[in-house]
Amino acid sequence: MDKYLYLLILGFAFIVPIIYTFHNKLKFHKNFSSFLLGFLLMFFVFIPWDIWFTDLGVWGFSERYLSGFSLFGLPIEEYMFFFIIPYVCIFTYHVVYTLSKPSKFSSIKLTYFLSILLFVLGVVFLQKWYTSITFISLSVLLLICTRFVNMTLFYKTFMIILIPFCVVNGLLTGSYIEDQVVWYNNDYNLGIRLGTIPIEDVFYGMEMLLLVSLFYQSNLRLKSYNETV
């Protein structure tokens, strides 16, 4: 049973979004093509990154909790992670957009502050590869997204996602189980943990979601424009 733990955690995370994908009020299934575009572009960035870091020993996986199937050095569960987690996140983004009222809060100053802070920290800890690459790349992506993504909506969604994020990532990094599904080499990160979760994982997850959101929202706007022409 242990060898299916990673799969079970992913399945648990996927249950509610997949059930409500076809809900009459949400109708998320009508935006699946927009999600798929964002997912594919994110996938071809994050999978090579994941393969590279696994090969370097920045992180790795416990065979105890894996089914045994792998591709290019990554367990098959990791490929599923990069589909299921973005799907859950964009579904949540869609729900927040559909059900929440417009906000007058301007996120531009927060985005600039976060971008500058992450860039400075990335440079200061340049030798910590997980920290520096994640922080610097996210700082650049944040600036790009100020023009194309509703960042107020994004931050609101991300705050909601942090709750299931901590549950799923906590389990993957060893909370409530005997070993770690995913282990991290502290030589490449700050060594700061939220429970068992490296602090970098929060920003890594933010970057993954933001990259999907960038193309998801851009494609929705394009579809909306084409429908009105």
**pLDDT of residue 227 exceeding 50:** no
Nearest to 32 by CA among 54, 45, 17, 15: 17
CA distances 97 to 81, 91, 94, 208, Å, are 24, 10, 5, 19
Nearest to 155 by CA among 199, 111, 115: 111
Tell me the residue range of the domain where 187 lies. 2-228
Give the per-residue pLDDT at 16. 86
Count of domains in the chain?
A: 1
In this structure, the number of other CB atoms found within 10 A of the CB of residue 172 comes to 25
Query: Helix or strand or coil: residue 70?
Result: strand
pLDDT digits (tens, 9 = 90+) for 78-89: 999 999 999 998
pLDDT digits (tens, 9 = 90+) for 140-178: 999 999 888 889 889 998 999 999 888 999 999 988 888
* Least confident stretch, 160-164, 193-197, 213-217: 213-217
Rounded to whole angstroms, how far apart are CA atoms 112 and 119? 11
The arithmetic mean of pLDDT across residues 128-149, rounded, is 94
118-127: long-range pairs with CB below 8 Å, 24+: 118/142, 118/203, 125/190
Read off the pLDDT band of 34 (50, 70, 90).
confident
Rounded to whole angstroms, how far apart are CA atoms 227 and 214? 20
Nearest to 172 by CA among 194, 148, 139: 194
Give the per-residue pLDDT at 72. 92
Mean of pLDDT over the chain: 89
